[in-house]
Structure 1
Amino acid sequence: MSLPFPQSIIPMVIETTGRVERAYDIFSLLLKERIVFLGTPINDQVASLIVAQLLYLSQQDPERDISLYINCPGGVIYSGLAIYDTMQAIPNPIRTFAIGVTASFGTVLLAAGTPGERYSLPHATIHMHPAGGGTQGYIPDIEIQYKEMKRLQDTLHHIVSKHTGQSVQQIADDFERDHWMDAQMAKDYGLVDEIMGESVFSLTKKSEEDG
């Protein structure tokens, strides 16, 4: 498979079967265990790799779980929607995990996991913000680009609403500006179902106690 990082820094694992040795890059070895790792911004190339892995694993076994680990700052909305639609289209349960920073469309994919199978590691940071992008050119062209960006933002609000149980208006209000959450806050909001590992100390609760 094509790799998201320079080959020189990808760990290789040697598997020996009898007299045969096979070298796997770490991502291919994870794929054998039905683990997909999204650790870069999302663009067309990254989306194609993730979609291909999901389709391959579903074709191999349409009933077994697929685990998607997300450490992603977001990226191109169109590309992210390709991953999202594939997640919804295949029959497999998909377990999603927030690690590091899960932001923007990475958070959409986190929330889109199978209900009850969406997890955050204790110190993951989850982030959402309004859709955005630079516009330039003549006024009619800017208006066209604005309408398209507004359409995409409305689409994302409906998607996040569907997977969190929050109202579309609540989503729009909460994510009008950058919105940062720790694992507990993300769980309370409905973006994840469980926090893995040690208990996380919510800054929100700390502020309430200090008050």
Structure 2
Amino acid sequence: MQVPRAGASPRRSLSSAAAAAADTPKRPGPAAESLHATAARALPLIPIVVEQTGRGERAYDIYSRLLRERIVCVMGPIDDSVASLVIAQLLFLQSESNKKPIHMYINSPGGVVTAGLAIYDTMQYILNPICTWCVGQAASMGSLLLAAGSPGMRHSLPNSRIMIHQPSGGARGQATDIAIQAEEIMKLKKQLYNIYAKHTKQSLQVIESAMERDRYMSPMEAQEFGILDKVLVHPPQDGEDEPTLVQKEPVEAAPAAEPVPAST
């Protein structure tokens, strides 16, 4: 039940109210408002792409146009709004084809654990192979989504950063409530460790040690750790079958020490 606002005018007649409603422009539905609100929070300006079709011009916002190419963007902090949009796009792309790959571009500092796990579970649930791409950063839950891509299809651009750490949170209230929250976050911590161990092929002991504090990695270090598979410079060019990969720089051997003459 809503409380009337202070200073509200008396109730109008039914006819006048209907006339006013007819003159009022219709607002977009809640789903459209959520999409535009989330995009506006991430980027103040959303480019519009205009295409020529047989029926004339057709305009798309840039994210809808990328969705046609089976590209999903996970940009910014991961919360329930972002999770709902990403999950909806994944399910839509699976309904169109459950065999074609889906490309997920990640630039995220992390966010809410439950929202990230909702995206993760959907990635594992659908049948499509999922290519993950790190652009900028994949930290916290962002790194988990990066690692959750299909084997051999987890990528990063060369100047990105990857970070893993244990979950954090806070609790307040009665002592019993705080104990319940502490028990829950410890369960989430163990659950996340198992997920990282599954996708990186590292032992739980290695995962626990690496995630005890913030662990920042370059793309090459993340590749060695097992979070991603390839570090790319650019996509395949004309006449190429494979993209250009970043090669690990060889480590030069230290010069041999000169023998020291024996003293008498």
TM-score range, shorter chain: over 0.9
Q: Does 1:124 align with 2:124?
A: no
**2:39 aligns to what SS in structure 1?**
coil
Q: Is the 8 A contact 1:98 1:119 kept in 2?
A: yes
Q: 1:65 Cα shift?
A: 0.2
Q: Is the 8 A contact 1:128 1:179 kept in 2?
A: yes
Cα distance between partner residues in 1 of 2:204 and 2:44: 45
Point out where structure 2 has 5 or more consecutive residues left out of the alignment.
1-31, 234-244, 255-264
Cα distance between partner residues in 1 of 2:128 and 2:248: 33
Query: Residue by residue, what CA displacement relative to the aligned partner does 1:1-54 show, whole Å, maximum 9, x if unpaired?
Result: 614322850010001113421110100000000000000211111100000000
Q: Does 1:161 align with 2:208?
A: no
Other-structure match for 1:178: 214
Other-structure match for 1:150: 186
Q: 1:200 Cα shift?
A: 7.0
Q: Which amino acid aligns with 1:193?
A: D
Q: 1:73 Cα shift?
A: 0.7
**1:55 aligns to what SS in structure 2?**
helix
Q: Is the 8 A contact 1:183 1:200 kept in 2?
A: no
Other-structure match for 2:140: 104
Q: Which amino acid aligns with 2:214?
A: D
Cα distance between partner residues in 1 of 2:79 and 2:210: 26
Other-structure match for 2:246: 199
Range moving further from structure 2, 189-198 or 23-32: 189-198
Q: Which has a greater percent of helix?
A: 1
Other-structure match for 1:91: 127
Higher RCO (CA < 8 A, seq sep 6+): 1
**1:71 aligns to what SS in structure 2?**
strand
Structure 1 residues 8 and 106: CA distance shift in structure 2, 3 A: closer
Q: Which amino acid aligns with 1:71?
A: N
Q: 1:201 Cα shift?
A: 7.0
Segments of 4+ in structure 1 off by > 6 A?
Answer: none
Cα distance between partner residues in 2 of 1:149 and 1:104: 15
Structure 1 residues 195 and 44: CA distance shift in structure 2, 3 A: same
Q: 1:138 Cα shift?
A: 1.6
Q: CA RMSD in A?
A: 1.9
Cα distance between partner residues in 1 of 2:166 and 2:68: 36
Q: 1:134 Cα shift?
A: 1.5
Q: TM-score, normalised by structure 1?
A: 0.92
**1:196 aligns to what SS in structure 2?**
strand
Structure 1 residues 40 and 8: CA distance shift in structure 2, 3 A: closer
1:189 to 195, 203, 225: 225
The percentage of counterpart residues that share the same residue type is 47
Q: Is the 8 A contact 1:123 1:200 kept in 2?
A: no
Cα distance between partner residues in 2 of 1:188 and 1:144: 37
1:27 to 42, 45, 63: 63
Other-structure match for 1:36: 72
Cα distance between partner residues in 2 of 1:182 and 1:8: 29
Structure 1 residues 179 and 8: CA distance shift in structure 2, 3 A: closer
Q: Which amino acid aligns with 1:99?
A: V
Point out where structure 1 has 5 or more consecutive residues left out of the alignment.
none
Cα distance between partner residues in 2 of 1:40 and 1:10: 15
The alignment covers a number of residue pairs equal to 206
Structure of higher CA gyration radius: 2
Q: Does 1:5 align with 2:39?
A: yes
Residues 77-88 of structure 1 mapped to structure 2, 5 A cutoff = 77-88=113-124
